[in-house]
Structure 1
Amino acid sequence: MPFLIAGAIKQAYDVIVVGSGAAGGQTAYTLCMEGARVLMLEAGRNYTPATETPMFQTPEQAPLRDAVTPDKNFGFYDATVDGGWQVPGEPYVNARQDDAGRFDWWRARMLGGRTNHWGRISLRNGPYDFKPYSRDGLGFDWPIDYDDVAPYYDKVEMLIGVYGNNDGLENTPDSPPGVLLPPPRPRVSDLLVQQRAGRLGVPVIAGHRAVLTRRLDADNLPAKLHPGNAEAQRILRDAMLRRAACWW
């Protein structure tokens, strides 16, 4: 994807997408795969995790021992480059400080937006989450329900690679067979917690995270995600083949 400055834009585009976070990124991906000419506008700068994010280091090795600072709201290893809880010129992110109306809104001024901060936690909202007012008398009901978005959950999980199990729990929707990757083997501490919690009737399950515990099925997934679109299938297949599994 080429990066352009305003003065260098010479051609016309079919669609302009504002923001490169989860919503903007998925929108641009879908449109590009259908052949649209897409211009993405991002308020922040380019960001390359491989070269800009310290990895495999401990807090003791960081400046100030990884203490929180105004520039790094989560410490030195925070991936934010131009954002956080306080953004100059954007007081609406946390304008009210009283307990009743306080609302903190994280802004990520960088390529990828808040996808740099989501911890790869990939949970599905359940049916109850879409109708809180009807169920509990609180908040507002969504104009859609879980069944409307379930097919898109399936597609995203196949596209990015999400591990987890189908546990059949209330308001924790299962994925169709073959969609989820296998979770990593539990640690001894996980098994002990699961054992003790089970005696109390509290289920302990593997989390759902976008971490590749095995290589994505590049031979079959592209055709499922982009049926009838040979070019999109080729692009996605190549991308999947370049992604390695994370061995635990």
Structure 2
Amino acid sequence: MINLNLKAKPANTYDAIVIGSGISGGWAAKELCEKGLKVLMLERGRQLEHIKDYTNAVKAPWEVEHRGRLTTEQKKSHPYLIRERVYSEFNESYWMKDADSPYTEEKRFDWTRPDIVGGRSIMWGRGSLRLSEMDFEANAKDGMGIDWPIRYKDLAPWYDHVEAFAGISGQAEGLPHLPDGVFQPPMEMNCFEKETKKRIEATYPGRKMTIFRTANLTERIGDREKCQYRNRCAMGCPFGAYFSTQSSTLPAAVKTGNLSLRPDSIVNSIIYDEEKGKATGVRVIDKHTKAVTEYYARIIFLNASALGSTFILLNSISSRFPQGLGNDHGVLGHYLMDHHFHAGASGISEEFADKYYYGQRPAGFYIPRFRNIGTDKRSYLRGFGYSGSSSRTGWSRGIAELGIGASYKDYLSEPGPWQMGLMGFGECLPYYENQVTLDHSLKDTWGQPVLKFNCEFKENERQMRVDMDADAAEMLEAAGLKDVKPFQRDSYPGGAIHEMGTARMGRDPRTSMLNAWNQVHSAKNVFVTDGACMTSSACQNPSLTYMALTARAADYAVQELKRQSL
């Protein structure tokens, strides 16, 4: 039942409410707290304390009961999550149980949902790439989708701001379509990668192979140590060596004395006051007791993830907004995007047999987009980039072999040949038909409707995928690799964990949900700065852009509060 304790209202009132504690929510809390606002951060997941609660991060694989493999019960309670590579016994407790919060699919969508403070900032891949002017102009130039209401120059100083604080290691390359940033020293490629880079760039002058730009420190920042090259990031890093809410933005917000963090708090909806013409607070369900409490604030930042934020907006029904908060023109939930991947090539090398490497570098390499740039014109719009990795094969190469005896064991104790793989990540266009809606026929554990997905990759993406594996194979062969094999595996929306676009930015309230400052057009004290706000997807990892947009919007929100415009 609703908490009707009238004395509780002043105690439950803050300057700002931040919904979600992941990558963008952490940034919203930090920026608003540091600017002097009293901030309530609401997170549906459980508390996860930095270092103390990373229970498997320093264990050897054999110290974990099933060596990382999932039990039958774990699979049963996560019927959707088992589709994805991110879920294992090592971090099983970090994820939401699908049985508690199911969703429905008209078309398959692989939705990956954490259940902890810090959200996916604990388990993310840490790729930190800027969008370029070309990406912000793409919709307007090719007529697919609506125009972004901002350009690269609007976001560039905020990219600088978040990169300097987060700590991004990388190599400047001078590419206009992949802008350089504020980098810590790059991680070093191994000998095989360095030679492959030389050969690819010599054969294809318009292409570049660079170390991946990643939110792993190569130099210490404050209490955060530089990366130890353990490559166990998805369990949580006790060294604070990669950017996460726990290691970075949350300590900064706590340090101000202005933050109140409330975990186990499921935000059900936003309260809209029709007389005031703005949002006044949120309704929150306690995860354990199911009691409903209202909290109030002058501004609200929605950072619950693209789909979590869209759920909250859709579920925020009033006589003013019968289709969901701010959804005057039915845009909310449409234009759902994710990157398509699982297409590329792999091969082996007979060279460098006398060379090895030290440690487990947590970053691969990157070949930025080269299709539909300059004079290159393809049958499809936009393009793709490649994530790549290399290593020497180990003892597991003998699993499929028939062998026995000491000589066979000696063979497996030596490293095998070098291997390399390239996998493309391609842009998905913003299609109106790709959408998420509320399904009232099914309820979650807390009595809320669930999301229903109707989303697919279409002909433009299918044509792009032909190049994604063919180009990868061609480059590896040109670099001298042998036994090169292109691959095409199924790729479904959600699988890349880069969902975005369902409450997009734009210039016209009839075709978008948010303005150039990430404000809901018709409820300007509500800001959405997670993936939901994206107007197009580009092909780069998007998290750095969410950080920059959030810091920019927080700065603007505080200025507007000072002007008494919100």
Matched, 1:26 2:27: yes
Q: Which residue is 1:120 aligned to?
A: 126
Matched-pair contact (CA < 8 Å) for 1:124–1:153? yes
- Per-residue deviation at 1:12? 4.0
Q: Could you say what the CA RMSD is over the residues aligned between the two structures, in angstroms?
A: 2.7
Matched-pair contact (CA < 8 Å) for 2:56–2:64? no
Find runs of 4+ consecutive structure 1 residues off by over 6 angstroms: none
Q: Which residue is 1:199 aligned to?
A: 202
Shift in alpha-carbon separation, 1:45–1:154, aligned structure 2, 3 A: same
What is the rounded CA distance, in whole Å, between the counterparts of 2:93 and 2:121 in structure 1?
11
Q: How does 1:115-194 map to 2 (within 5 A)?
A: 115-175=121-181, 179-194=182-197
Shift in alpha-carbon separation, 1:87–1:15, aligned structure 2, 3 A: farther
Matched-pair contact (CA < 8 Å) for 2:170–2:184? yes
What is the rounded CA distance, in whole Å, between the counterparts of 1:205 and 1:90 in structure 2?
40
1:135 is paired with a residue of what secondary structure?
helix
Aligned AA for 1:142? W
Matched, 1:246 2:227: yes
Q: Which has the higher contact order (CA 8 A, sep 6+)?
A: 2
What is the rounded CA distance, in whole Å, between the counterparts of 2:140 and 2:46 in structure 1?
43
2:40 is paired with a residue of what secondary structure?
strand
- Per-residue deviation at 1:46? 0.6
Q: Which residue is 1:4 aligned to?
A: none
What is the rounded CA distance, in whole Å, between the counterparts of 1:215 and 1:23 in structure 2?
23
Q: Which residue is 2:91 aligned to?
A: 78
Shift in alpha-carbon separation, 1:189–1:48, aligned structure 2, 3 A: farther
What is the rounded CA distance, in whole Å, between the counterparts of 2:152 and 2:100 in structure 1?
38
- Per-residue deviation at 1:132? 2.9
Aligned AA for 1:140? I
Matched-pair contact (CA < 8 Å) for 1:130–1:144? yes
Q: Which residue is 1:210 aligned to?
A: 215
Shift in alpha-carbon separation, 1:47–1:173, aligned structure 2, 3 A: same
State the TM-score, normalizing by the size of structure 2. 0.34
List gaps (5 residues or longer) in structure 2: 1-7, 230-566
Aligned AA for 1:81? Y
- Per-residue deviation at 1:20? 0.7
Shift in alpha-carbon separation, 1:43–1:168, aligned structure 2, 3 A: same
What is the rounded CA distance, in whole Å, between the counterparts of 2:175 and 2:60 in structure 1?
37
Matched-pair contact (CA < 8 Å) for 2:139–2:148? no
Q: Which residue is 2:42 aligned to?
A: 41
What is the rounded CA distance, in whole Å, between the counterparts of 1:131 and 1:14 in structure 2?
36
Matched-pair contact (CA < 8 Å) for 2:21–2:118? yes
Aligned AA for 2:213? H
Worse-superposed segment, 67-76 or 124-133: 67-76
1:172 is paired with a residue of what secondary structure?
coil
1:158 is paired with a residue of what secondary structure?
helix
What is the rounded CA distance, in whole Å, between the counterparts of 1:11 and 1:119 in structure 2?
36
Q: Which residue is 1:229 aligned to?
A: none
1:131 is paired with a residue of what secondary structure?
helix
Shift in alpha-carbon separation, 1:82–1:192, aligned structure 2, 3 A: same
What fraction of aligned residue pairs are identical, expressed as a percent? Answer: 34
- Per-residue deviation at 1:170? 3.7
1:17 is paired with a residue of what secondary structure?
strand
Matched-pair contact (CA < 8 Å) for 2:56–2:91? no
Q: Which residue is 2:56 aligned to?
A: 54
Matched-pair contact (CA < 8 Å) for 2:131–2:178? yes
Shift in alpha-carbon separation, 1:119–1:211, aligned structure 2, 3 A: same
Task: Give the structure with the higher percent strand.
Answer: 2
Shift in alpha-carbon separation, 1:61–1:15, aligned structure 2, 3 A: same
Aligned AA for 2:54? E
Matched-pair contact (CA < 8 Å) for 1:161–1:212? yes
2:157 is paired with a residue of what secondary structure?
helix
- Per-residue deviation at 1:40? 0.8
What is the rounded CA distance, in whole Å, between the counterparts of 2:170 and 2:105 in structure 1?
38
Shift in alpha-carbon separation, 1:79–1:118, aligned structure 2, 3 A: farther
Aligned AA for 1:89? S
What is the rounded CA distance, in whole Å, between the counterparts of 1:139 and 1:61 in structure 2?
51
What is the rounded CA distance, in whole Å, between the counterparts of 1:80 and 1:192 in structure 2?
41
1:152 is paired with a residue of what secondary structure?
helix
What is the rounded CA distance, in whole Å, between the counterparts of 2:55 and 2:195 in structure 1?
34
1:117 is paired with a residue of what secondary structure?
coil
Matched-pair contact (CA < 8 Å) for 1:67–1:76? yes
List gaps (5 residues or longer) in structure 1: 1-6, 217-239
Matched-pair contact (CA < 8 Å) for 1:122–1:210? yes
Shift in alpha-carbon separation, 1:140–1:170, aligned structure 2, 3 A: same
Task: Give the structure with the higher percent helix.
Answer: 1
2:18 is paired with a residue of what secondary structure?
strand
Matched-pair contact (CA < 8 Å) for 2:69–2:89? yes
State the TM-score, normalizing by the size of structure 1. 0.72
Higher Rg of the two aligned structures: 2
